[in-house]
Amino acid sequence: MQLEILTPEHKVFSGNVYGVQLPGVQGSFEILQNHAPMVAALGKGSMKILKDKASTEVYNITGGFVETLNNKTTVLLEGAESVSY
């Protein structure tokens, strides 16, 4: 699945991924390959990019929107900060 994550200041991520976990306004959800088309509002919380089944990147986000259509997911965020463990 193609994933693109943007803030007003810069592109946070762009590439092929296994999936993405996002904090929706009514609870967390996950988008994987062949997900049904949708648009959803995002709340404040943790976003996890699943690069493959063993590799992830985590960001704290401050809200925004996500759109998925034809195996392309675009995430538009107010802000994102990388989390390192």
Asked if residue 71 is part of any domain, the answer here is yes
Domain count, the chain: 1
Residue 62: which domain range? 2-31+40-76
pTM of the model: 0.93
Cβ-based neighbour number of residue 28 at 10 Å: 14
Asked if residue 83 is part of any domain, the answer here is no
Distance CA 31, CA 7 (A): 19
pLDDT tens digit sequence for 16-61: 999 999 999 999 999 999 999 999 999 999 999 999 989 999 999 9
- pLDDT score recorded for residue 84: 76
Asked if residue 82 is part of any domain, the answer here is no
Q: Counting every residue, how long is the chain?
A: 85
Which residues have a Cβ under 8 Å from the Cβ of 13 and sit 6 or more positions away? 3, 4, 5, 49, 57
CATH of the domain at 23: 2.60.15.10
**How confident is residue 85, by pLDDT bands cut at 50, 70 and 90?**
low
pLDDT tens digit sequence for 65-79: 999 999 999 999 999
Asked if residue 72 is part of any domain, the answer here is yes
Distance CA 11, CA 53 (A): 23
